[in-house]
Amino acid sequence: MIHDTIAAIATPPGMGGIGIIRISGDQALPVISGLFGNTLKGPMDCLNLESHRVVHGYIFHPREHIVLDEVLLVPMLAPRSYTRENVVEIHAHAGPMVMRAILESIIFLGVRLAEPGEFTKRAFLNNRIDLTQAEAISDIISARSTASMKMAAVQATGKLKENITHAREILISLLTLIEAAIDFPDEGDELIQEKQVLEHIDRVIAICRQGINTYEEAHFLRDGIKLAICGSPNVGKSSLMNCLLESERSIVTAIPGTTRDLIEEGINIDGVPFVISDTAGMHETKDPVEQIGIQKAKESITRADMILFMKPAGETISAQEIDAVVPSHEKVIIVFNKMDLMPEGFTPTIPADIQKIPHALISARRGRGIQNLKKQILSLSAADKTDPTGVVPNLRHKMALEKTKNALSCARQNLIHHREEETLAIDIRMAAEALGEITGDTADIDILDKIFSQFCIGK
Ligand SMILES: Nc1nc2c(c(=O)[nH]1)N(C=O)[C@@H](CNc1ccc(C(=O)N[C@@H](CCC(=O)O)C(=O)O)cc1)CN2
Ligand SMILES: Nc1nc2c(ncn2[C@@H]2O[C@H](COP(=O)(O)OP(=O)(O)OP(=O)(O)O)[C@@H](O)[C@H]2O)c(=O)[nH]1
Ligand SMILES: [Mg+2]
């Protein structure tokens, strides 16, 4: 039921300067009238508070009539609020006990505790924002890199919604035309001009294609670029992992075969998110634990977007060695480690057939050459060439775009082969519905519930 009034603590738990409790719904003002007064005398009538005007005062315990806290109150009256309902915010002191006491007082007066994402769900159900904007708000909060934060911020302004809505409108007007042709078969040929219809279909296919491509090129800015460190035992893989993380995450010893399990950690390099995995050293072994570790290492390398292939500086490297790990030679950086053991001015020798592969010379133990390596990683990831201020669909959007594109390819065939108009209409309706899933216009309640339940409490 959307007509009940909900409340939640909007700020993170724990102690802090200020904590915000938010109430939304029809009963927000009557409830606050039972709790808030602008003098120490007790609660006052709040039904006529002015919207968007901060009021100073006190929160009183609804039964014990004692002061709970000195607060600022922010009324935002429907429809001029985040949810489009009456909203009242209480800006209190952020201590776990005060915040809880105020929230309990509100609940005592008949308000229900909000579910995760419920304020934003109401903003969506009341048409303040569409589903892509709701998802973007959640992405802004959970962003772990500047790049993904920027992408989410663009999406929150409604850029993706505009693109999708535009494409869907093209399909809906096409559909109207085709349905008219079905209803008035005599005028069908005048209503549907094949060339024009094709043009419209192709325009929407192009929009889908563009969205899918952008996802492929840029989704890693949201999800993180998978970077695997691999090489023989003892080359310094774990030392490099720790160096990049700037913490002693992996165990480092002089004993070959120290790392057995796969170790994964997220970092961000110049605002770009990476998920680094430190793998077990690759070699022939009879040790069953090591064998499992090496199997995991291989899987991690297969999944990786980028590979750091480590060698001790001074040892020779061959194309075959790299072939064994990454046959395509793409997205590999050869990392020569332990440069501190080499004479000053040392440069590694690289066979002619692999000179195109980028390389770096470092000392993981001394932390030398790391800045240069980071630069190489960024440049190979092409993250520096990807514009995070563009619209980047997420996986859910991409799947719906694929569904749209496929349905339209069928529609195209039907049109070219002059099949029945009904068949054409079915495909186009399917495509329009798939687009509507992105913005939430045609998404079913299970999808909506799933998306909103992943939000923070109080959002
Ligand atoms: N204190 C506080 N800070 C916050 C929020 C909030 O709810 N409370 N927000 C919550 O997520 C975000 C800001 N989003 C908001 C979106 C709309 C309105 C709002 O009142 N909109 C009205 C009025 C606009 C106007 O009159 O200028 C409207 O759109 O009609 C407020 C906050 C981030 N910061
Ligand atoms: N001199 C020198 N020693 C290093 C350097 N990097 C790592 N080492 C040493 O090499 C040994 C192995 O380092 P690790 O980081 O554990 O090597 P690994 O590749 O993770 O080894 P495994 O997990 O066994 O496959 C340790 O004694 C490190 O201190 C370096 O840059 N210079
Ligand atoms: Mg190791």
DSSP state letter for 64: T
Q: Are residues 380 and 397 in the same domain?
A: no
Q: Indicate the length of the chain as a whole number.
A: 459
Query: Which has the closest alpha carbon to 149: 274, 272, 265?
Result: 272
Q: Are residues 302 and 405 in the same domain?
A: no
| Domain-located, residue 123 | no
Distance from Cα 356 to the centre of ligand 1, integer Å = 53
**Which residue is listed with tokens 């190489």?**
376
CA distance 422 to 185: 12
Beta-strand relationship, 272-278 and 225-231? parallel
| Domain-located, residue 47 | yes
CATH number at residue 146: 1.20.120.430
Ligand 1 atom 7: the closest Cα is on which residue?
82
| Domain-located, residue 121 | no
User: Is the model's pLDDT at 203 over the cut of 90?
Assistant: yes
User: Is the model's pLDDT at 66 over the cut of 80?
Assistant: yes
Ligand 2 atom 7: the closest Cα is on which residue?
236
Of 63-67, 184-188, 375-379, which range is least confident?
Answer: 184-188
Nearest ligand 2 atom, CA 366? 31
Of 36-45, 247-256, 356-365, which range is least confident?
Answer: 247-256
User: Is the model's pLDDT at 191 over the cut of 70?
Assistant: no
CA distance 139 to 453: 13
Answer yes or no: is the C-beta of 312 below 6 A from any ligand 2 atom. Answer: no
Would you give the distance in Å from CA 451 to the centre of its chain? 12
Q: Are residues 188 and 241 in the same domain?
A: no
Give residue 188's pLDDT.
61
CATH number at residue 75: 3.30.1360.120
Q: What's the average model confidence in pLDDT over 373-400?
A: 87
Domain boundary among 325, 358, 385: 385
Structural domain containing residue 332: 222-385
Q: Are residues 234 and 377 in the same domain?
A: yes
| Domain-located, residue 1 | no
Domain boundary among 385, 400, 416: 385
Q: Is 311 labeled as ligand-binding? A: no
Nearest ligand 1 atom, CA 119? 11
In angstroms, the Cα distances linking 329 to 111, 320, 347, 354 are 61, 11, 22, 8
Nearest ligand 2 atom, CA 368? 31
CA distance 38 to 421: 68
Domain count across the chain: 3
**Which residue is listed with tokens 């994402």?**
117
| Domain-located, residue 127 | no
User: Is the model's pLDDT at 301 over the cut of 60?
Assistant: yes
Q: Are residues 106 and 79 in the same domain?
A: yes
Q: Are residues 107 and 152 in the same domain?
A: no
CATH number at residue 258: 3.40.50.300
Give residue 3's pLDDT.
79
User: Is the model's pLDDT at 20 over the cut of 90?
Assistant: yes
CA distance 361 to 338: 8
Give residue 388's pLDDT.
67
DSSP strands (E only) in 279-373: 306-312, 332-337, 359-361
Query: Which has the closest alpha carbon to 377: 219, 224, 152, 215?
Result: 224
Query: Which has the closest alpha carbon to 75: 34, 12, 128, 29?
Result: 29
| Domain-located, residue 364 | yes
Best mean pLDDT range from 165-169, 223-227, 314-318, 446-450:
165-169
pLDDT confidence tier of residue 387, bands split at 50, 70 and 90: confident
Domain boundary among 385, 410, 429: 385
Type of residue at 350: I
**Which residue is listed with tokens 């992105």?**
438
CA distance 118 to 457: 8
Q: Is 388 labeled as ligand-binding? A: no
Give residue 382's pLDDT.
80
Q: What's the average model confidence in pLDDT over 285-298?
A: 91
Residue 63 phi, psi dihedral angles, 5° rounding: -105, -40
Q: What's the average model confidence in pLDDT over 271-280?
A: 92
Q: Are residues 174 and 274 in the same domain?
A: no
The CA R_g of the chain, rounded to the nearest whole Å, is: 30
pLDDT confidence tier of residue 74, bands split at 50, 70 and 90: very high
User: Within 10 A of 82 (CB to CB), how many other CB atoms are there?
Assistant: 19
Would you give the distance in Å from CA 158 to the centre of its chain? 16
User: Is the model's pLDDT at 6 over the cut of 90?
Assistant: yes
Query: Which has the closest alpha carbon to 314: 346, 287, 273?
Result: 346
Distance from the first to the final alpha carbon of the chain: 18
pTM of the model: 0.83
Q: What is the ipTM of this complex?
A: 0.77
Of 27-36, 69-78, 143-152, 397-406, which range is least confident?
Answer: 143-152
HEC readout, 403-423: HHHHHHHHHHHHHHCCCCHHH
Distance from Cα 328 to the centre of ligand 2, integer Å = 27
DSSP 219-241: THHHH-EEEEEEESTTSSHHHHH
**Which residue is listed with tokens 């077990």?**
280
| Domain-located, residue 158 | yes
User: Within 10 A of 20 (CB to CB), how many other CB atoms are there?
Assistant: 18
CA distance 379 to 221: 14
The fraction of the chain above a pLDDT of 90, given in percent, is 79
Question: Over the range 353-371, which residues count as b (16 or more CB within 10 Å of their CB) and which as e?
Answer: ebeebebbbbbbbeeebbe
Q: Are residues 248 and 362 in the same domain?
A: yes
Give residue 2's pLDDT.
66
Q: Are residues 239 and 339 in the same domain?
A: yes
Give residue 1's pLDDT.
57
User: Is the model's pLDDT at 101 over the cut of 60?
Assistant: yes
Mutate to test the pocket of ligand 2, among 232, 239, 336 (most ligand atoms within 8 A of CB): 239
Distance from Cα 113 to the centre of ligand 3, integer Å = 48
CA distance 459 to 454: 10
Q: Are residues 366 and 285 in the same domain?
A: yes
Distance from Cα 255 to the centre of ligand 2, integer Å = 9
Give residue 129's pLDDT.
97
| Domain-located, residue 119 | no
Mutate to test the pocket of ligand 2, among 298, 362, 365 (most ligand atoms within 8 A of CB): 365
Q: Are residues 186 and 240 in the same domain?
A: no
Query: Which has the closest alpha carbon to 36: 9, 63, 56, 64?
Result: 56
Nearest ligand 2 atom, CA 242? 15
Of 68-77, 151-160, 201-210, 262-271, which range is least confident?
Answer: 262-271
Mutate to test the pocket of ligand 2, among 229, 230, 232, 234 (most ligand atoms within 8 A of CB): 234
Q: What's the average model confidence in pLDDT over 298-315?
A: 94
CA distance 67 to 55: 16
Q: Are residues 304 and 358 in the same domain?
A: yes
